[in-house]
Each structure stands twice: as structure tokens, then as C-alpha cells.
Homo-oligomer: A and B are copies of this chain.
Amino acid sequence: MPDLPAVSAALKSQRIETPSWAYGNSGTRFKVFTQPGVPRSPEEKLDDAARVHEHTGVAPVVALHIPWDRVADYAALASYARDRGVRLGTINANVFQDDDYKLGSVTHAEPAVRRKALDHLLECVDIMDATGSRDLKLWFADGTNYPGQDDIRTRQDRLAEALSAVYQRLGEDQRLLLEYKLFEPAFYATDVPDWGTAYAHCLKLGPQAQVVVDTGHHAPGTNIEFIVAMLLREGKLGGFDFNSRFYADDDLMAGAADPFQLFRLMYEVVRGGGLGPQTAFMLDQCHNIEPKIPAIIRSVMNVQEATAKALLVDGPALAEAQTSGDVLGANAVLMDAYNTDVRPLLASVREELGIDPDPVAAYHRSGWAAKITAERADGQQAGWGA
């Protein structure tokens, strides 16, 4: 039987990083519906993120997106975060919104564009130095829309060159996290479309280069937990971008579309020894129609519930069933953990952390939503700037 105190301890020490941009407006190509109370600055995003941490107790880290979160003084921003009980986390580079990047950034045919993109990536490492961030997350929108548009292989050469330059610039405690994505915004060939491509590049770069798994970035039918197990086995799992999907990169709340998949994935994390701080557990979501802060709280809770169930799997019983070829028995051990209602366990974990056992209710009672709606009525709400 699982060691419940150890499970509780693991749940209490879990850290889930929330993305600054999820507090801002987002939408689809058809429409961005704005919401009342949305932050107008990086500082206000941190204010909201601090509420998520206050109510969940496990979300003390906030990822930034440059240039959406560009400020004059990053040390001051880090200090602002600390004052609110959170800290700055992963720096996300953005080389997909400048007009020059229409046909690519680091893989663009023109050297000047590649240089510009690389400069931005290097600037992000400068920012990491200032914020004390460990991880640089690189997602490239680079790719092509039409067969023949550009040379697939040459673009890999250009990509490798840029990644190498960034890698050389890293401090010894910093990491480069390379994210892959099947498609969107590129609709024919994406330059880093799958874990194999990200893995091949990271392998050549060295131990500080790691792969990020965004749970919404795969082809239909892909077994994501298999990829997690593979990357852990290879020592190349840098972290996650959690969200959920029914169709494409829908960016719904983690655990909303397929909670069983999230559980299986967290099981492989636990089994592969990946639950520690070397794995960055990040959310990357878009709350297009639902209120953002409670949606993020719910997402954090969903990751917690999946983690709790994964920790509850009876390892010895599972191993015994597996090695004896008992297909139904082994499956039943896993399902027994999944079918457990872990909400009481997490309520008690929260009580031990000194927070309300019902984070969503506590948030709604807090008056924060009314407060920010009133205080942030004017000005320009944050968004993707697309």
C-alpha cells in the first residue's frame, strides 16, 4: 500500500509554474474576447499569480514571456514578485510576432533575420541573469505553409546554428528547454514538430539542453506518456507545458479534456523519478471564455489530483502483476488509483499547508475578482499582441 505521509509530503512539495500570459487576454483567430479585470502590466499579472499561489500553495513560480512582459528593470520585477510571495521562473522567448518573422526566425532564409532572432534569444538569457531564472524555454513558430516554400533540411542547419549559439551563452546553472509542436502557425512543415527532432538537437547541444513536452502539441493518437517515459530514460525531460485538448492545440485547462491521460502521464513522471525540481511543471493555457484566475486555480488542482493518483499507485502490486503477465490485474492496480477520489486527500494536504481546502471557493470569497474589475477598468489590457 502507498505510504500516505510520503504521498502527502510529495504533494506539499510539488511546484507548478503558472504562465504570465494566461492571466492576460487570449483567443482564437476569430476573436479575442476580453474580460473585466485583466492585468495591464507584468506587475498586475504577478498580483494575480500570487492569488493563485495563495489559494493553492503549490504555484509560487511565474513564467515570463518576452517581449509581452518586457520591463525596464527585471531585478525590480523579481523583487516585486518576492514581495508577493512568488518568484520569476522560466523565460519564454518570442520570435514569432515581429513582421520580419513572417517566413521564420532562426530558420529564416535571410541571415539578417536570423541574427535578429538570435539576438532576442540572447537577450532572454540576459534577462534570466537579472531575474535569476533557471530555464529558457524556446518554442519556434518557424515552419512553412506550402511544399517547396523553403528547404526543410537547410532550415535544420540554421536552427542548429542558433541553438548552439544560445547554448554557449548559458550560465552553468541555466538550461535551454526546447519545445516541439506538430503544427500551427505553420501548416505544412514545422521546424521542430516532434520530440524526436527536439531530442536530436538537445543531444548534440549537451546536458543543459532539455526537451519540453507541451501536452497539446501532438498528432491525434500520440501516446504522450510514452514520450515522457522515453525522455526520462534518456535524461532529457526538461519539463511540461500542461494544457488539454480535444482536437488540436486547444489550450484548455489541464485535465479538462482527458483526465485519465494526465494521470497516466504523471504516473510515468513518478515512476521515472521525474517529480523533483529538475522537471519544470508549467501550465500553458488559454482561458478564452472562462474567468482566468479560477481557471488557473482549477488547472493547478487538476495537476495535483493527477499527481496524487499517480502517487497512490500500488507499485509492488503493479510490478508483481506486470512481471507475472497478469494483464487485467496490472491494469486494475493502475485503475484502482485512478478511480480513487483524491479530493479529501488534497483537502487535508491544503489544511497542512495552512490554506483553505477548497481553493476555488476561497478565491470567490476573497473579493479579488470584484477588486480587479473595479481597479483595472481603464488602460490597455495585456494580451498576446497578435
Q: Which of A's residues lie within 8 Å of B, judged by CB?
A: 26-34, 96-97, 99, 101-103, 109-110, 141, 145-153, 156-157, 182-185, 187-190, 193-197, 199-200, 203, 218-223, 225-227, 229-230, 232-234, 245-248, 250, 252-253, 256-260, 264, 268, 271-272, 288-291, 294-295, 298, 305, 318-319, 321-325, 327-328, 330-335, 338-341, 343, 360, 384, 386
Contacts and interface: CB of A to CB of B under 8 A. Distances in A.
B29 A27 contact: yes
A276 to B, nearest CB: 17
Given A153-B229, A259-B338, 7 more contacts: A152-B268, A187-B250, A188-B246, A194-B194, A196-B227, A219-B219, A220-B221
A53 B331 CA distance: 22
Given A221-B182, A341-B341, A30 B325 contact: no
Contacts of A110: 325
The 6 closest A-B pairs by CB, nearest first: A196-B196, A148-B334, A219-B219, A220-B220, A187-B250, A28-B185
Contacts of A247: 182-184, 187, 221, 248
B319 A32 contact: no
Contact of A290 (B145, B253, B343, B360): B145
Contacts of A250: 145, 183, 187
A103 B325 contact: yes
A374 B305 CA distance: 45
Contacts of A331: 146-149, 256
B150 A226 contact: no
A329 to B, nearest CB: 9
A30 B335 contact: no
Contacts of A257: 188
Contacts of A146: 252-253, 256, 290, 327-328, 330-331
Contact of A232 (B27, B103, B153, B322): B153
